[in-house]
Amino acid sequence: MNAVSSKYSHKDAGWRLFLKTIIARAYPRLIGQQREVSWMVFDVVMPMLAVIAYVFVYRALKAPEEYIGFVVMGGAMTAFWMNILWSMSSQLYWEKEQGNLALYIMAPNSMMAVLLGMALGGMLATALRAIAVTVLGSFMFGVKYEVTSYIQLFSVFMLAMAALYGMGMIMASAFLLFGREAWHMANLAQEPIFLASGFYFPIKSLPFWVAAGASIIPLTLGMDAMRQLIFPSGFQFGFMTVRLEILILAVMSVLFVVTAKMLLAYVEKIAVREGRITESRR
Amino acid sequence: MQTSTSWRSFRMAAWLGWLIESNWTDPFLFTVYSIVKPLSGAAILVIMYGIITQGNFDSPLFPYIYLGNAFYIYVGAVMTGVSWAVVDDREHYKTLKYMYIAPIYIPIYLLGRGVARFITGSIAVFITIAAGVLFLKVPLHFTEIDWLLFIVTLILGVIMLALLGLLLAGVTLTVARHEGFIGEATAGALYIFSGAVFPLDILPEWIRPVGYFMPTTYWLELLRRSLVGNVAQAFPTLANFSNMEILGILLALSIFFGVISIWVFRVCDRIARERGLIDHTTNY
């Protein structure tokens, strides 16, 4: 009895609690999801179906081989966008529907840490799926890569992910406020974003201001920069220089995380003041 | 006049489905939602095509891709419209058990639930094709359309898709996980094997027979032929077949898959009842 009580008598607070919350929320994403092998299969198969269809469209059009690589890379990156939509943006809404949101808000840990944990776990777990799509797509269609700068590639990817998941944290709070429209909002934000962000073609092909507007989605600039860095003639298709894209992504990363924190504080305030944010309405 | 149980089941399910599909928001947002998704999907293909051909929209391949993609909206809408009703009623609203004890025919009820998505799908198909004709030179001339062939093919195809949806609904009844993905995965696979956006000859030779076995292949081919005639017949995949031969194949495959679908639904329905899966919610 003493051993048990002494074990639980210690309470973490401050940054220790913050870190522990991040790890605790990341755990089910990172470890739990890997236990469900069938999820992995679906998460890889669904983007692969789109990749295969678009590759064959390019083949029917006798497109240069780079475009096949663009499609494979775009297909891999869809995994991150889907993760943002369904496992970040909609997550607090799901939690509300299942009755967990009130527990999250009542618990002594920071909601920001909960969101960061969701983002960290989701990012790492989704990376596995994206790698699987890339390997499978590259193997099936014989895609060749030629990296010009590993440091820049690493920087672009990490900054794009930081900005993207920062955006996901903003959307999590926003979707909670949307109420029962959240599911439809997530559903709506698929094809239009695949179009505007150039998942299957270079963003440079769109009119300048459309491409510039679509750059608010971090994956737009992230994919554009990565295409320039990993395909031999990728620089021809670049919307901006890689350096400029890295700079913009760095600014976005900070801006989105700060905005997410402010929006979350607003949601928590509503939850406490009105007591309705955790109300489940079907 | 006494309304038959089947008609009542279908009519009420269609109305219920429409209310569920449309009442989550205001009419404006609902309209935008119903149009933006399919138009964006079409726009991806248009841009891909435009980049590679440098804007040559006069090639017969363009209407092939564009119309195939436009009518493919029905495949996802009708099939998943029927099968998703199981997920919606069982997991979300938790009402499937009540539907089972109500004096209705469950298969007819599920088919009725697909009507709402058929309507929204039809609007999306119409707008997509209209956009193609108005802005992208899709060679559609109202006087040259074979309306009889078009209407017969469309009706036959929608019935075939609804019955395939019933098959998926049956499978959905028996699984606890990934039920939401079943319709999407099937529609995604058919997109590749039906020659919706590229001729089947582009597929590796060993996998083409799968496409020849799918009724959707012949359905899309006939819809294209009825609308743009010789443009569609230029592709080698089914060039040796006349319209009537393709219609015959479509009818035969639709009957075959229809019978299989009803049989699979009955088997799955029995299994679901025996295993107590009708009110089985997982929150998965």
Q: Which residues of A touch B (CB under 8 A)?
A: 38-39, 42, 45-46, 49-50, 52-54, 56-63, 67, 98, 180-181, 184, 187-188, 190-192, 194-195, 199-202, 205-206, 282
Residue A168, token pair as written in the block: 């996901």
Residue A262 in tokens: 């402010």
pLDDT at B159 over 90: yes
Question: Residue B280 falls within a domain, yes or no?
Answer: no
Domain assignment present for residue A209? The answer is yes
Which of B179, B158, B236 minimizes the C-alpha distance to B202?
A: B236
A2 in any annotated domain:
no
Instruction: Please indicate, yes or no, if residue B94 is contained in any of the structural domains.
Output: yes
Q: What CA–CA distance (Å, rounded) separates B253 from A228?
A: 47
pLDDT tens digit sequence for B45-88: 999 999 999 988 888 889 999 999 999 999 989 998 999 999 88
The pLDDT, as a whole number, for residue B96 is 92
Burial class from Cβ neighbours inside 10 Å (0-12, 13-18, 19+) for residue A208 reads exposed
Q: What is the DSSP letter of A147?
A: -
Rounded to 10 deg, the angle between the A242-274 and A111-141 helix axes is 140
Mean pLDDT along residues A197-224: 93
pLDDT of residue A30: 82
Neighbours of B19 (CB within 10 A): 11
Q: Quick one: angle between helices B215-228 and B61-87, nearest 10?
A: 130
Average pLDDT score over chain A: 86
Query: Is A24 a residue whose pLDDT tops 50?
Result: yes
Q: What is the pLDDT of residue A279?
A: 62
Q: What is the pLDDT of residue A282?
A: 45
> From the candidates B198, B200, B208, which should be mutated to test the interface with A, based on the most A CB atoms within 10 A?
B198
How far apart, in whole angstroms, are the C-alpha atoms of residue A136 and residue A72? 9
Cα distances (Å, whole numbers) of residue B80 to A24, B48, B77, B118, B167? 36, 27, 6, 10, 11
Instruction: Give pLDDT, residue B180.
Output: 67
Say what the pLDDT of residue A122 is: 86
pLDDT at A70 over 90: yes
The residues, any chain, with a CB within 8 Å of residue A35's CB and separated by 6 or more, are none
CB B57 within 8 A of CB B248: no
The residue whose two tokens read 């027979």 is: B209
> Is residue A7 domain-resident?
no
**How many domains in chain B?**
1
Question: Which residue in A170, A160, A152 sits closest to A248, CA to CA?
Answer: A160
Cα separation of B157 and A22, whole Å?
51
Q: Which residues of A touch B52 (CB under 8 A)?
A: 58, 61-63, 67
* Arithmetic mean of pLDDT, B166-183: 83
Segments forming the whole domain that contains residue A88: 14-274
Choice between A3 and B213, residue whose per-residue pLDDT is larger: B213
The total number of structural domains in chain A stands at: 1
Q: What percent of chain B has pLDDT over 90?
A: 59
**Is residue B138 in some structural domain?**
yes
Confidence of residue B1 (pLDDT cuts 50, 70, 90): very low
In this predicted structure, the answer to whether residue A82 has a pLDDT above a threshold of 70 is yes
Residue B264 or A13, more confident: B264
Say whether pLDDT at B233 is over 70. no
Q: How far is A138 from chain B (nearest CA, A)?
A: 16
Please give, rounded to a whole number of angstroms, the shortest distance from the CA of B144 to a CA of chain A. 27
Domain assignment present for B283: no
* Nearest residue, CB atoms, A46 vs list B33, B188, B192: B188
**Contact list, A56 vs chain B (CB under 8 Å):** 192, 197-198, 202-203
ipTM of the complex: 0.89
Higher-confidence residue of B34 and B272: namely: B272
Check A42 against B51: CB less than 8 A apart. Answer: no
A71: distance to nearest CA of chain B, Å?
Answer: 10
d(CA B113, CA B89): 10
User: Does residue A259 fall inside a structural domain?
Assistant: yes
Neighbour-count burial for B131-170, b at 16+ CB within 10 Å, e otherwise:
bbbeebebbbeeeeeeeebeebbbebbbebbbbbbbbbbb
Return the pLDDT at A253.
95
**Is A6 inside a domain boundary?**
no
**Residue B175 exposed, middle or buried by CB count within 10 Å (0-12, 13-18, 19+):** middle
Whether A64 maps to a domain, the answer reads yes
Range of the domain at B270: 5-274
Tell the residue number behind the tokens 């909960």, with chain if given: A114
Average pLDDT over residues A71-85: 91
CA atoms within 13 A on the CB side of B230: 1
Least confident of A211-220, A228-237, B180-189: B180-189
Q: Tally A–B CB contacts below 8 A.
A: 99
- Is residue B206 included in any domain, yes or no? yes
Of B163, B149, B151, the closest CA to residue B215 belongs to B163
- Non-local CB neighbours of A20 within 8 Å, separated by 6+ positions: A12, A109
Residue A93 has pLDDT above 90, yes or no: no
Cα distances (angstroms) measured from residue B158 to each of B41, B122, B250: 21, 11, 12
Number of DSSP helices (H) and strands (E) in chain A, helices first? 14, 0
Q: Half-sphere exposure of residue A125, counting CA atoms within 13 Å on the CB side?
A: 28
**Per-residue pLDDT averaged across A178-205, rounded?**
84
Of the candidates A112, A102, A90, A88, the one whose C-alpha atom is nearest the C-alpha of residue A277 is: A102
Does residue A1 belong to any structural domain of this protein? no
CA torsion sign for B11, B17, B22, B24 is positive
In which band, very low, low, confident or very high, does the pLDDT at B162 lie, cut at 50, 70 and 90?
very high
Of A205-219, A266-280, B69-83, B201-215, the poorest mean pLDDT is in A266-280
A105-153, pLDDT tens digit by residue? 888 888 888 888 888 888 888 888 899 999 999 999 999 899 999 999 9
Let me know if residue A89 belongs to a domain.
yes
Cα separation values, A191 from A20, B35, B63, B104, Å: 37, 11, 21, 37
* Residue A229 banded pLDDT, cuts 50, 70, 90: very high
Q: Which residue out of B52, B220, B282 would a mutagenesis test of the A interface target, given it has the greatest number of A Cβ atoms within 10 Å? A: B52
**Residues A202, A224 contacting (CB under 8 angstroms):** yes
pLDDT over 80 (residue B29):
no
Shortest distance between the Cα of A57 and any Cα of chain B, in A, equals 6
- Classify residue B24 as exposed, middle or buried by CB count within 10 Å of its CB (0-12, 13-18, 19+): middle
Name chain B contacts of A181, Cβ cutoff 8 Å.
Answer: 24-25, 29
- For residue B181, what pLDDT band results from cuts at 50, 70 and 90? confident
Q: What's the confidence (pLDDT) of residue B186?
A: 87
Tell me: the pLDDT tens digits for B134-151?
998 888 888 889 999 999
8 Å CB contact between B172 and A34: no
Burial A76-101, CB ≥16 within 10 A → b, else e: bbbbbbbbbbbbbbbbbbbbbbeeeb
Query: What average pLDDT does the segment B8-21 reach?
Result: 90
CB–CB contact A56 B198 (8 Å): yes
